[in-house]
Amino acid sequence: MPEPFVNLTAVAAPLEMSNVDTDQILPARYLRRPRDERYATYGFHDLRFTPEGAKRDDFLLNRAPFDRAAILVAQRNFGVGSSREAAVYALLAMGVRCVVAESFGDIFFNNSLKNGLLPVRLPEAACADLRAQLLARPGADISVDLEAGTLTAPDGTVHGFAIPPFARDCLLRGLDEIGLTMTLMHEIEAFEAMRSGQTG
């Protein structure tokens, strides 16, 4: 079951990157690992660590206060590429609960919603403004209110965002879709009966 997501006020980190693909969020060699707390070190692994395993200071998420960030603000096409849901597990393990971007990879967007990670789409200018504020005031908070569908910038500017209603309900209540779909089982069975009637 995903954790419910209602609202969140937390340190946010600006990621001046577009096309952050899920291979970068979670390198393929970690995909064979079972889901556990080690996912916190797998997240963005090759950007965070040198091949010898040393922390790379040139990567923002390695530096205080951004190493505490629960919100990331990126550019366009965050989470494109591979369908690996484990990329979402890695972000969650790192403590990230919300990603703001101009656009998201389609499957990543769905995977996030199903695991209690909130993907917030905002226009290019709004994302750029948020990143500029976060750079100017390191450690500043962003507030997200899912019920109201609003995100509040460090300077108090309020941006509205939309999440598909069904996914939003599930997130707010921490429900998973399987349980909800099970209540429609009679319709699934009726569909199968109708189809076998057609072909038989």
Partner 1 sequence: MPRTLFEKIWDAHVVHRRDDGLCLLYVDRHYFHEGSFHAFNMLRARGLKVRRPDLSFGFGDHYAPTRARDTAAIADPEIRGIIQTFESNARAAGIRAFELADAQQGIVHVAGPELGLTLPGMTVVCGDSHTSSHGALGALAFGIGASEVAHVFATQTIWQSMPRQIRVTFDGALPQGASAKDMALALIAEIGTGGALGGAIEFAGAAVRALSVEGRLTLCNMAIEAGARTGMVAPDAVTQAWLAGRPFATPVDIAGLRSDDDAAFAAEVRLDAGRIGPMATWGTSPEEAVPLSARVPKPEEAPDEARRRAWRRSLEYMGLQGGERLADVKVDRVFLGSCTNARLEDLRAAASVLKGRRIAVPMLVSPGSSGVKRAAEAEGLDRIFTEAGASWEESACSLCVSMNGDSVGEGERCASTSNRNFVGRQGRGARTHLVSPASAAAAAVTGRLVSAESV
Binding site for partner 1 (CB under 8 A): 16, 18-19, 21, 23-24, 27-29, 31-35, 46, 51, 75-77, 80-86, 88, 103, 105-107, 110-111, 114-115, 164-166, 176-178, 181-182, 184-185, 187-188, 191-192, 195
Contact 117, 91 (CB under 8 A): yes
The smaller minimum CB distance to partner 1, of residues 11 and 111, is found at 111
Q: In whole angstroms, how close is the CB of 180 to partner 1 at the nearest point?
A: 9
Length of the chain: 200
Q: Which residues of 49-68 are buried (b: 16+ CB within 10 A; e: fewer)?
A: eeeeeeeeeebbbeeeebbe
Q: In whole angstroms, how close is the CB of 43 to partner 1 at the nearest point?
A: 14
Q: Using CA atoms, how far apart are residues 70 and 66, in angstroms rounded to an integer? A: 9
Both structure tokens of 41: 């070190």
Let me know if 166 is exposed, middle or buried by CB neighbors in 10 A (0-12, 13-18, 19+).
Answer: exposed
